[in-house]
Amino acid sequence: MDKYSEILSAWQNLKIQNAAELEAALNGYVIQFAYHSGKIENPNITYNDTREIFDRDGVTNFTGDVRTIFEIRNAKDASNFVLDAFDRQESLTQEFILQLHYELTKNTYDTRSWQVGERTGAFKKHDYVTGRYEVGSPPEDVERELVALLEEIRQVALRTNDHIFTAAAYFHAKFENIHPFSDGNGRTGRLAMNYFLLQHNHPPIVIHEEDKTSIISRWKPLIRKKNLRRSNSF
């Protein structure tokens, strides 16, 4: 039995049925996930600040950019949103992802983003460029491509429970490739991926900041296979 199979077996033996049981099982994981997911995007996020906000809803002696505090607080709100959704057995849908993005990014869009029509909890209105290259799908294609992606992983989950982790990795890689929002794509994609895992009785994962590049390079081949039916192994 490989390491992931051992972890999966231990997780499934918990027989988690509701948000209270899930929260107890996750224990300190939620803070670890919020810290690492946030730090990938914002190097000013610290573990101590994250822990303080999750535990006490505030920080002491903070002198940095207030956006950092908003991002950590939003991560806490998004975690609570996911717990509530799990309790309601809510499906991973376009509407779910839009609300998740809102929870993660509210009060963080800058003036320029607002001036060009970008909003939290809404798909991007413009193409974006990093260096020499455009990032993601054209705005007019985002909704169609995201709906198709969600249906693709839903169909896999209906057919078998054997490839849930592969489907989750594929979702994350393809979601980042679509890049549906002007900001917050990474944080939204990682949390949505974990919600998909939780839906199907798999443990969530933490992508550490220092491991992001190597993990993404391993997941990119899933996108090149064009669809999940051709991605039967990971």
Mind listing the domains of the chain with CATH numbers?
3-230 (1.10.3290.10)
Among the listed residues 126, 179, 200, 202, the single catalytic one is 179
User: What are residue 135's phi and psi, to 5 degrees?
Assistant: -115, 120
Is 132 marked as binding a ligand?
no
Q: Kindly state the average pLDDT of the residues 9-31.
A: 95
Instruction: Using pLDDT thresholds of 50, 70 and 90, give the confidence band for residue 30.
Output: very high
- Chain centroid to Cα 69, Å, comes to 19
Which stretch of 6-15, 64-73, 121-130, 214-223 has the lowest confidence by average pLDDT? 214-223
3-state secondary structure of 133: strand
Q: What pLDDT score does 225 carry?
A: 54
Q: Kindly state the average pLDDT of the residues 136-145.
A: 96
36 has catalytic annotation: no
Is 189 marked as binding a ligand?
yes
3-state secondary structure of 65: coil
Is 183 marked as binding a ligand?
yes
Q: What pLDDT score does 232 carry?
A: 47
Instruction: Using pLDDT thresholds of 50, 70 and 90, give the confidence band for residue 233.
Output: very low
Is 58 marked as binding a ligand?
no
Burial bucket for residue 169 (CB in 10 Å: 0-12, 13-18, 19+): buried
